[in-house]
C-alpha cells in the first residue's frame, strides 16, 4: 500500500454512521471511494452539496456537479443543492459532525496551518478557516513528513495558522495520534515502526498509549 492508501483506508473508519462529514481538498475528498455503497452518511461539499457521492461512470458524469477539489461526483438519494451562503451557514452553525482536512503543518496544541506558505505556495483559505473553527471534530489527514523528509507534525506551527487548537486527531501514513491536554498520544501505528523511530520523524513529543 502507498502512503496515501494507508491514510485513506484508515481515515474511512473515522466516519460514524448517520453523520454529516466534510471532506477537504487533497487526500480527504478521496475518502469517499473507501466508503461501502450502503454506508449511512451525508457528505457535505462546501461548493453547495449535501449528499455528494462517488463518481459516476464517464457516460453518466455531470459536468455541472463537482466536489470542492474539482472532481466529478454524483448525488445520493435525499441530496440537496444550495448556494455558497447556505453552505457556509451549515458550517458556521456547526451542523457538520466531522471535517477531514489536509495540513501543511499541525502541532501538539492542535493548531492547523494549511493555507499559506509565504512567498512560495499560497493557495488561499478556501473553506478551511470556517470548517476548522466551527466543525465539532477535525481529523487531519497528512503524510507524517514532507517530500524532503522533514516533520509536518510540530511542537508549534511556524506558518500562518488556519485556526487555533482545532484538531482532535491526526491520521498520518505511519500512525493515528490524538491531540490531548498532555500533548500528542499515539493510538495506533499503521506500519511496523519502533516508538523511537516514529518519534525521530516527529518534532512534537509523542506519548505512547499502553
Return phi, psi of residue 128, to 5°: -65, -40
Catalytic residues: 46
Point out which span in 115-123, 135-143, 168-176, 200-208 binds other proteins (CB under 8 A).
115-123
The span from the CA of 106 to the CA of 169, in Å, is 10
Position 25 contacts other proteins (CB under 8 A): yes
Taking the least distance from each CB to other proteins, the nearer of 95 and 189 is 95
How many CA within 13 A on the CB side of residue 210? 0
Asked if 146 interacts with other proteins (CB under 8 A), we say no
State yes or no: residue 4 binds other proteins (CB under 8 A): no
**Is residue 122 involved in binding other proteins (CB under 8 A)?**
yes
Which of these ranges, 12-20, 117-125, 145-153, 188-196, lies near other proteins under the rule CB under 8 A? 117-125
d(CA 85, CA 10): 32
SS3 call for 147: coil
Annotate 177-204 with DSSP letters as a single string: EEEETTEEEEEEESSS--HHHHHHT-SS
CB of 137 vs other proteins, minimal distance in Å: 18
Span near other proteins by CB under 8 A; candidates 39-47, 147-155, 166-174, 200-208: 39-47
Amino acid at each position: 500500500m502507498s502512503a496515501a492508501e494507508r491514510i485513506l483506508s484508515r481515515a474511512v473508519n473515522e466516519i460514524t454512521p448517520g453523520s454529516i462529514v466534510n471532506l477537504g481538498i487533497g487526500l480527504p475528498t478521496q475518502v469517499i471511494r473507501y466508503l461501502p455503497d450502503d454506508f449511512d452518511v451525508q457528505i457535505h461539499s462546501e461548493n453547495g452539496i449535501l449528499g455528494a457521492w462517488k463518481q459516476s461512470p464517464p457516460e453518466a458524469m455531470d459536468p455541472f456537479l463537482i466536489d470542492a477539489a474539482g472532481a466529478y461526483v454524483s448525488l445520493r438519494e435525499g441530496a440537496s443543492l444550495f448556494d455558497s451562503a447556505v453552505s457556509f451557514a451549515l458550517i458556521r452553525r456547526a451542523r457538520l459532525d466531522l471535517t477531514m482536512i489536509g495540513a501543511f503543518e499541525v502541532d501538539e496544541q492542535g493548531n492547523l496551518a494549511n493555507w499559506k506558505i509565504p512567498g512560495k505556495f499560497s493557495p488561499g483559505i478556501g473553506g478551511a478557516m470556517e470548517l476548522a473553527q466551527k466543525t465539532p471534530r477535525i481529523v487531519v489527514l497528512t503524510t507524517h513528513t514532507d517530500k524532503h523528509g522533514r516533520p509536518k507534525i510540530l511542537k508549534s506551527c511556524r506558518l500562518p495558522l488556519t485556526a487555533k487548537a482545532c484538531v482532535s486527531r491526526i491520521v498520518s501514513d505511519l500512525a493515528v495520534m490524538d491531540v490531548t491536554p498532555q500533548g500528542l498520544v499515539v493510538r495506533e501505528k499503521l506500519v511496523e515502526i519502533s516508538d523511537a523511530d516514529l518519534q525521530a520523524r516527529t518534532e512534537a513529543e509523542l506519548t505512547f498509549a499502553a
